[in-house]
Amino acid sequence: MVVQNENCFRLNHLENSWDLDTYVANGGYEVWKKVVAGELEPNEIIEEVKASNIRGRGGAGFPTGLKWSFMNRNAPGQKYIVCNSDEGEPGTFKDRDIMRYNPHALVEGMAIAAYVIGASRGYNYIRGEFWEPYQRFNNAIKQAREAGFLGDNILGSGWDFDLFTHLGAGAYICGEETALIESIEGKKGQPRFKPPFPASFGLYGKPTTINNTETLASIPMILAKGGKWFNDLGVENAGGTKLYSVSGHVNAPGNFEVRMGTPFKDLLELAGGIWKGRQFKAVIPGGASTAIIPAEKALEMNMDYDSIAKAGSFLGAGSVIIMDDQTDIVKVMQNLSHFYWDESCGQCTPCREGTGWLYRVLTRIVEGKGRPEDIAALKDVSGKIMGNVICGLGDAATIALTSALEHYEHEFQHYIEHGCSIFDRQ
């Protein structure tokens, strides 16, 4: 059985689910009240978060409890909590709906995280195009401030925490955490070398914890119901529910909050199955930076890290892009390569030049001017980017393409030999 909407989306069916009154009427800010009243110690919170087995929902899957434990709460000086709502990975659209329908869960989650790491200031970095989600979130901040849940001396506890937003301006790379920090500092969004990680050198050079929107919005429920509750919803290596964004060739695209480990075929069914009565060809399961999986394998996998890894890909941000049997894989790869070329920040030569190369070669192939040596060239350029760059964008630019060449090389071959796609064959 597929159970839905137990966590971030639990209020979505209610009218004005984004309103403070709705949130409070459904148990919202109860955990936060306990925290500021000193009834829940930072160490206990970290233990619960560890027990929940929640892994970072931004895509890398790093254990959240462990990340929080890197911060020294009692070290002197300013520290920051930062939320990553830059959501730009093609196929990903879940954080937008958390902010639109349950923004107070994010406010409460950020407040709790801030308390645990000893930060009195926080920023939510929202991509600039997300105006409606920004307004909902900003309004939630305002309501929480008026209700005394944010600001100075929260509920008479002596604890201060204030929360702000920063809006992006159309740069995917700013979702990379260190580029995001640069961007808040008012600079170009160019990633920094890691280490040092933000936990030791973050925003304005201060210790900073950065988490994804879904990660932080999950915290209040984890603490309300206990880490064990969350852990038991999931599978051995990853707890909880997970938001999957399903798009592409399905009848009912959308976000689905289901349990980690839900069979892929159940998720596909929730999204209404393949559109136009066609057959299922392939899926990119975790956003544009994850490997493509052919239908046969996908139908046997479950939606959790280990099972997807076994099928040859990665869970990423849970961004499931479905393709039907009329899909031209070469054109899909051309589209993805354009994305990475467009979005490369330009600071590493292999990424800056290599992504352009990949795009140009794929365009040449799609235009019917492919050369026999082009497939080898694509592989060679991919190999030169992979592992030789500062951040994950460069690597990501090669992952889907490499997997497409593995499973669908004949489609590229057909273009090169006949100057057209397999669908143009008479």
Partner 1 sequence: MSSTVTNTANFIQGEVKARIDKWIANYPADQKKSATMPALRIVQECHHGYLTTDLMDQIAEYLEITPMEVYEVATFYGNYEHEPVGEIKLCVCNSISCMLRGRDEILAAIEKKIGIKPGEMTEDGRFSVKMVECLGACGGAPMMQVGKVYHENLTPENITDLLEEWSK
Ligand X SMILES: NC(=O)C1=CN([C@@H]2O[C@H](COP(=O)(O)OP(=O)(O)OC[C@H]3O[C@@H](n4cnc5c(N)ncnc54)[C@H](O)[C@@H]3O)[C@@H](O)[C@H]2O)C=CC1
Ligand Y SMILES: Cc1cc2nc3c(=O)[nH]c(=O)nc-3n(C[C@H](O)[C@H](O)[C@H](O)COP(=O)(O)O)c2cc1C
Quote the DSSP letter at residue 247. Answer: E
Question: Using CB under 8 A, which of 44, 185, 296, 367 touches partner 1?
Answer: 185
Residues 392-411 that bind ligand Y (CB under 6 A): 392-393
Nearest partner of 23 among 84, 81, 109, judged by Cα: 109
> Which stretch, 168-176, 192-200, 289-297, 387-395, contacts partner 1 (CB under 8 A)?
168-176
Task: Say how far residue 205 (Cα) sits from the centre of its chain.
Answer: 25
In a 13 Å sphere around the CA of 117, the CA atoms on its Cβ side amount to: 31
Cis peptide before 191 (omega within 30 of 0): no
**DSSP-H helix ranges across 9-156:** 20-25, 30-36, 42-52, 64-69, 94-101, 103-117, 131-146
- Smallest distance, partner 1 to C-beta of residue 376, A: 25
Identify what 40 binds: partner 1, ligand Y, ligand X, none; CB under 5 to 8 Å per kind. none
| C-alpha gyration radius of the chain | 22
Residues 333-362 that bind partner 1 (CB under 8 A): 335-336, 338-339, 342-343, 345
Check residue 10 for interaction with ligand X (CB under 6 A): no
How many whole angstroms separate alpha carbon 94 and alpha carbon 97? 5
Identify what 90 binds: ligand Y, ligand SF4, partner 1, none; CB under 5 to 8 Å per kind. partner 1
Identify what 140 binds: ligand SF4, ligand X, partner 1, none; CB under 5 to 8 Å per kind. none
> Which stretch, 61-69, 156-164, 229-237, 341-349, contacts ligand SF4 (CB under 6 A)?
341-349
Check residue 314 for interaction with partner 1 (CB under 8 A): no
How many whole angstroms separate alpha carbon 98 and alpha carbon 380? 41
Nearest partner of 358 among 326, 409, 394, 313, judged by Cα: 394
Nearer to ligand SF4, 184 or 221 (CB): 184
Q: Per-residue contact track with ligand Y, 281 to 300, x per CB under 6 A?
A: --------------------
Q: The tokens of 366 are what? A: 């799609």
∠ CA 306-307-311 to the nearest 5 degrees?
115
Find residue 212's DSSP bridge partners.
Answer: 84
Identify what 189 binds: partner 1, ligand X, ligand SF4, none; CB under 5 to 8 Å per kind. partner 1
Q: Which residues bind ligand SF4 (CB under 6 A)?
A: 173, 191, 344-348, 351-352, 389-391, 393-394
Query: What are the residues binding partner 1 (CB under 8 A)?
Result: 78, 87-93, 95-96, 121, 127-132, 164-172, 183-189, 204, 245-249, 253-255, 284, 288, 319, 321, 323, 327, 331-332, 335-336, 338-339, 342-343, 345
